Amino acid sequence: PKIFGEEDAEVKRKLFKDAYSDTISKVIKEEKCDLLSDGTILPDIEESFGVKISDLKETMSLKEEISLKNKNIRGFVKSQHNLDIEYDVEATVQPVASLTKPEVRKVLEYFKMPNELVYRKAFPGPALSARIIGPVTSVNLRFEKKVHDIVESTVDDYYTEKFGKPMIINDKGEQEPFQAFAATTTDVLLRKVTGMINGQRTYEVPLSIKGEWDFEKLVHFSSQIKGYARILYELYESHEGIYDVIIRSINSIDARTASVTNLP
């Protein structure tokens, strides 16, 4: 696979996007499809284009969309594998493109869909390889898939046991947890990672701290620190393993802002 050996997170996303669009195009041709429907949602568009959805027009060509994106590069967060693609169909239908995830969940609840669908976390897509900090190999890709499943299923089980479902809407209106996953690397403190500071994407090394666990103090400290992309709290240290594993769980209303999940 082309992704093996690649370490830049944004290039990893683009390689996934190429594979995704090639696969969809193959199916369109084989099945002789006239229409394509996908699940693009509002944050996908705004993160990728760096603009509000009101700035985009349905009549825009792909060239015009890319030009708008380039003019607003400072607002860019990350590319999405399901945008900026033209397929050989009469039209692409995006029925929930103006909705956030909480709004999509309300639609599912209205249609009385089961909880496992309503509260299912998003497929990681290109993010899975981006969570391997450094070059991707067949070995660390298998390891990342394994630890991601362990973390996500453990957090899901905790919330299901406590609340009867894998996700709740907390008193701030956030989906809790919005996302729970593991990232993997070697020499984590030497690796630059992506972070968000004041709404802008940053790419710096993380800072690791250990000592007494105090959730509120740690959250406050992380908001004050400068020169680092993220704050990590050390849970366990071993000199026998190969990889460092970083666990992340966040709450969010719309994927554009987030707070840390207070897990036991």
Encode pLDDT of 162-193 as tens digits.
999 999 999 999 999 999 999 999 989 988 88
pLDDT above 90 (res 157)? yes
Has residue 71 got a pLDDT over 60?
Answer: yes
Q: How crowded is the C-beta side of 83, counted as CA atoms within 13 Å?
A: 21
- DSSP state at residue 147: H
User: How does pLDDT run across 112-126, given as a tens digit for each residue?
Assistant: 999 888 988 877 788
What pLDDT digit, counting tens, does each position of 237-250 carry? Answer: 888 889 999 999 99
DSSP assigned state of 188: G
Helix, coil or strand: residue 42: helix
- Reported residue count of the chain is 264
Confidence of residue 107 (pLDDT cuts 50, 70, 90): very high
Per DSSP, what are the bridge partners of residue 181?
248
Q: Measured between alpha carbons, how far is 193 from 105 in angstroms, rounded to an integer?
A: 31
Distance CA 161, CA 150 (A): 16
pTM of the model: 0.75
Residue by residue, what is the 3-state secondary structure of 233-263? ECCCCCCCCCCEEEEEEEEECCCCCCEECCC
Nearest to 166 by CA among 158, 175, 174, 156: 156
